[in-house]
Structure 1
Amino acid sequence: MLGIADISADQVEKAASPQRQNFFILLLLAATIGLFIYLLWPGRFFFNWPQFIFFCLVIFLAENFCIDLPKAGAVSVTFTLILAAIILFGPAIPAVASIFGALIWRDLKKGTHPYRWLFNGCQYALTAGAAGLAYTASGGPVLSALGRAFIVQDFPNVLFPIIIAIITFFLSNTILVSTVIGLAEEMSPFSVWVVNVRWAIPNYFALAPLGLAIAQISMTIGSVGVILILMPLIVARQTFQIYMGLRNAYLDTVRSLIAALEAKDPYTKGHSERVSALAQKIGQHLKIREDQIEILRYAGILHDIGKIGTARYILRKTGKLTEDEFQRIRLHPEWGAMILMEIKFLSNVVPAIFHHHEKFDGSGYIDGIAGEEIPLLARILTAADAFDAMTSPRPYRGALPVDKACREMIECSGTQFDPVIIKALLHILEYHDQEELSEGQLQFNAYEN
């Protein structure tokens, strides 16, 4: 991440495990109180009120220019300011001042759940305090105590404690945030970490020199220099905002493509989302990498996008297809792959979509490959697609009951489907109450973006 992440109000209010989540937040509160008692004990660490007020202000402003992350949380450039404060003053001032990062203006206006304020304030303080203590414990010099900025002779020795502080900040910040989001969403904290923050590791080290520069300038010419050097941070924030805007634009493209397909074939409405959700659940059960599950998410949504090129009368035909009509509809995986390979953001879903009508025994299409020659994600998609197709009504037949669809999947295991994936599918279905079955359909909740 570029800075401190947080959880959204609706995640706190609608947490799947509120007791565990709230207990975790209360533990953080107790830890924060203990930390403050230690840091603010008279004479233990440097504390200067004017500098404290100044850093409270700049941290507050930095957090109010945060950017939302894909699944949950938000990101800011506050890290550089906290690192500068650690180098300048040690752990006390950054730990206490970072609490003001919890005061987000947009949340003040809409009224945020109290546990969000509590979590953010505690998480910010613990993260900054832990990084500051790691810095001083590893021999990092505090510039306010030195009475000067770093000089050439201080390098490279000073780099080691700075790196220790960066690593401590990163691990503390991301583990705490991933844990509370995981509790709120009933997801593995590691899965949250992989999707939301793993990519940000280089950014911490890229922005660390800026934190060091802020400390040097502040020590040399005072707080005015800090304000001047904040301009590059604004540029960095704007660049990341553009990236996230492009990502959201791509997601809008996906939604538009699906809307176009559903307008053409209303019988597939909701099918893509259900296939996506079920494919993700299979992937999670098989413990495949989280980035692969993210690919499954989009592949499931877009697996039939090639049907845009199929005539409407074929898609809506209630009788048996002619051989020519069948051959034309068999082209939709290839057409879908051709559409998506031109969109860079979606190019990694192409193999799964191109091969999602292959069969495990090699009798499928487009390439007629068999077994593990078929990409794993395509094999998962094949099973999820077939199950939802059988349990959904179509123009030429009604929906099959779930138990009968399961028997069909078992009978075709080893021929049409990968037996390992069918075993995973059946395991998932066992965890759903019969009340969740409606008109032969099993409903799944896809992850929100």
Structure 2
Amino acid sequence: MYHPMVRIRSGEPSRAAQLASVTRVMGVKVIPGAARGYIGCALLAAGAAALPALRPAAGTPWGTVALLAALYALCELPARCRLLGRAAGGSVPIGSGSFFPVLLAAALLLPPAAAALTALPGSLLARVDEPPAAPRRAWRAAATALAVWAAATAAGALSCATALGHGPDAPDFPYALLPAGAAALTFCLVLTALDGGIRATVGGLPARAAWRGLLGRALAPHAVHGLAGLMMAVLWRSTYGPVSALFVLLPIYISCWVFAQYHRERAAHQATIRALVQAVDLKDRYTRGHSERVGHASVLIARELGMAEDRLDVVRFAGILHDVGKLGVPTRVLRKDGPLTPEERRVIELHPEYGHEIVRGIGFLGEARAAILHHHERMDGSGYPYGLHGEEIPEFARMVAVADAFDAMTSTRSYSRARPVPTAVAELERCAGSHFDPRMVAALVRALDRHGWQPAVTADETTPATPPSGNVPPPRDATTAPQTTGAPLPPRPRERA
């Protein structure tokens, strides 16, 4: 669980549009005025929430406050300190959020104002990767303090102190679950509301878009944090004292370490994919951006068919890497400004096999490897490289084939103009059953009706008003050939899509 002001991972959706999305004025990152005002209001509210604990007559249990604040700060410190990070194996939980159970334990153990103070040292120490660091830390401290204060208020309203017991008094289970659950839910709601606000003020998003999906993604993690916080609070109030509560942190830290390892591995996968796609784009400038759009369209088809979430990444990889075999095709053939000879056509039709050889040893691609090999097969068996037909063609390959043809038709290249989306859809439907799987075509049509499509120019320059002079090769993809009525599309003389 990462706080919205901490970090944005490339290629992944974040919980909020963070201050990394600040506008650039004369090359310097600046925070929009609305965001500065929003952060200022949050700081004032956090100060007002914590101020009562500083009054002499407040009776604040400073020992407990200091211990919990120090504990939370120590949990966040390894991510800030490079030396400690390397000592922990080079992969430590990063960003505020990994140790929210400590703060939720504080919300259950302390009065609201005192609980808000425990969030400040750790929030200010947590790692910040991108400038401006000061407002990021100020925002994180204010938002976290407000969330802890609200959680403690909710827990106190449900007599949490009595439910937890003290010393030899056993906690009142299952009633103790009620204030703990209320605290975790309140903490989640406040952070989500604040996240949406910073997202709207920094990114200029409409309110509905700014908060969309935030609560759904946050509920489950905060529920787990709430249970861990309850365990810490119960042990803290037991006869064994605060030391026993530290044992709860060990499984929390291990789970965070595993989570960080997963994200490191995922980032390595993404870097591998990006490197391969960039190599293809550099070699064949006519299809720049095509791979990413085919990956996107393939995911649209998969989602429309109800494919499990754990397979969607593989579908996307299949679409993005479907043309990676072009790395094995001579550049002079890819960029030839004229009709291909039969020999050159045979060379370019080897690119699915080249692609399969390139990715064969990349284990995380899974089913994507078969899609790369077979995305030019046709339902009637007239495709290549093996002439498979019907259900013999892997499912992912049938998805990618439809996505590939659709993007080829709707993208403007230096040698062909984009077709309107309705025209491309009509062509796909006409070829469904002979070239394409009708189920995949129907799924793409439904997805387009639901989400729309933004075609893009992918050549180095836009297509001129009139076709360029000279021998411009006709599009090689079956669906991009001039439309005919009833007859099958002609063989493809040249690979471009």
- What is the TM-score when the length of structure 1 is the normalising length? 0.67
2:139 counterpart (101, 119, 123): 119
Report the structure number with the largest CA radius of gyration.
2
| 1:62-90 alpha-carbon deviations (Å, 9 max, x no partner) | 234459xxxxx945432111122122224
Using a 3 Å threshold, how does the CA distance of structure 1 residues 172 and 121 change in structure 2: closer, same or farther? same
1:2-401 correspondence runs (5 A): 4=3, 6-8=5-7, 11-14=20-23, 18=32, 21-22=35-36, 24-25=38-39, 28-29=42-43, 31-32=45-46, 35-36=49-50, 40=53, 47-65=60-78, 74-104=95-125, 106-107=127-128, 112-114=133-135, 116-141=136-161, 147-148=166-167, 151=170, 154-177=172-195, 180-181=198-199, 184=202, 189-190=211-212, 197=217, 201=220, 204-205=223-224, 208-209=227-228, 212-213=231-232, 215-217=234-236, 219-226=238-245, 230-262=249-281, 265-267=283-285, 270-272=288-290, 275=293, 279=297, 298-308=317-327, 310=329, 314-322=333-341, 325-326=344-345, 329-330=348-349, 332=351, 336=355, 343=362, 345-347=364-366, 379-380=402-403, 382-388=405-411, 391-392=412-413, 398-400=414-416
Aligned residue identity for 1:190: R
Distance 2:320 2:250 in 1: 41
Q: Distance in 1 between matches of 2:410 and 2:342?
A: 24
DSSP-derived class of the 1:220 partner: coil
Does 1 or 2 have the higher relative contact order (CA < 8 Å, sep 6+)? 1
Contact 2:298 2:315 in 1 (8 A): yes
Against the structure 1 CA distance between its residues 235 and 335, is the aligned structure 2 distance closer, same or farther, given a 3 Å change threshold? same
Q: Percent identity?
A: 23
Compared with structure 1, are the counterparts of its residues 111 and 42 closer, same or farther at alpha carbon in structure 2 (3 Å cutoff)? closer
3-state SS of 2:161 partner: coil
| Alignment partners' CA distance in 2, 1:83 and 1:207 | 6
**How much has 1:227 moved relative to structure 2?**
5.2
Q: Work out whether residues 59 and 78 of structure 1, in 8 Å CA contact, stay in contact via their aligned partners in 2.
A: yes
CA distance in 2, matches of 1:341, 1:46: 67
Structure 1 residues 87 and 193: CA distance shift in structure 2, 3 A:
closer
**TM norm structure 2:** 0.62
SS of match in other structure, 1:103: helix
1:32, 1:125 within 8 Å by CA — same for their partners in 2? yes
Structure 1 window deviating more from structure 2 (410-419 vs 165-174): it is: 410-419
Post-superposition Cα deviations, 1:138-165, rounded to whole Å, max 9, x if no partner, equal 3423589x543662x6222212322232
Taking the aligned partners of 2:151 and 2:307, their CA distance within structure 1 comes to 30
How far, CA to CA, are the matches of 2:379 and 2:54 in structure 1? 68
Q: Is the 8 A contact 1:341 1:350 kept in 2?
A: yes
Alpha carbons of structure 1 residues 386 and 331: separation in structure 2 relative to 1, 3 Å: farther
Q: Which residue of 2 aligns with 1:445?
A: none
- SS of 1:176's partner is helix
Residues 403-441 of structure 1 show CA distances to partners (whole Å, capped at 9, x for unaligned) of: x77797477464467656677898646xx9x9x998218
Deviations 1:241-300 (A, max 9, x none): 22222112212221333345456x3436743566369759989xx9x9996987776455
**Are residues 136 and 193 of structure 1, via their aligned partners in 2, closer, same or farther at CA, if it must alter by over 3 Å?**
closer
Distance 1:177 1:93 in 2: 23
Deviation per residue, 1:28-79 (Å, 9 max, x gap)? 4465456447x65979986222322332222223234459xxxxx9454321
Query: How far, CA to CA, are the matches of 1:276 and 1:387 in structure 2?
Result: 11
RMSD: 5.3
Aligned length: 413
